[in-house]
Structure 1
Amino acid sequence: DVRVMTLEAARQMEQLFHSLQPSLPGTRLTVTGGMRRPPMERTDEIGRLFALAKSIAEQEIGIELEESGTGGVSDGNFAAACGVPTLDGLGAKGGYAHSPDEFIEIDQIPVRSALLARLIERC
């Protein structure tokens, strides 16, 4: 599992893996596969969409919204790769994602829903 922030980094990783050579005499190395999901590269359009979401969150709903990038993957990666401005992470607020201790903050569901609804209205 390799995650990258840019398409260029994805190409570099694939080249790196496919250029590997065995180091033990008499052995061979076969590399198969490749990057299966495109990275969600930050574009100017995504920046503008985030600025709108941040403005709505802070001025209309009263919550702080911060931008980050993780190199993670979601279905949003495919939309972003097609040129559609995409934000990820607008769902439930919680912690310990993808672990046995994962949780969501129930009282934040209406707040996050309001943010998403308002963002949809404004777009």
Structure 2
Amino acid sequence: MGNPNRRPHIRFGCAVVPSMPPDQAKETAPVKPLVIISKPKTVRHALLLTDRDMEKLGKNSYALIEGIARRSGCKIDILPKKEGDTECEVLFTGSPVVVAKAKTWVKEHLIPRAHNSSQTILDS
């Protein structure tokens, strides 16, 4: 009257462990590949500015440069001018998006604005 599907026990040392039928045996789960999260790419771009441009940006103890750096999230360094050079190097450091933002904002502040550009077009 016993179970016709009964399997013999497997012995491990002193313990007796009943073996499982093949259809109930657990299959090993596939091993997931290890994903390494890398840091975002950091880039450095340099922009050469003349003394006149540095005067525009340097008003109020470089508050404009500090504001652009704070808003964009980019680190902006003004390197000292070398002897005999007429241009000063400004270094932008950060992710590619942040650096592009900061450079664009600096260039926008350097472009002279035409106050009555619509009037001059209509007059001519």
* TM-score class, shorter: under 0.3
Bigger proportion of residues as strand? 2
Structure with greater helix share of residues: 1
Larger radius of gyration: 2
User: Given the two structures, how large is their TM-score scaled by the length of structure 2?
Assistant: 0.25
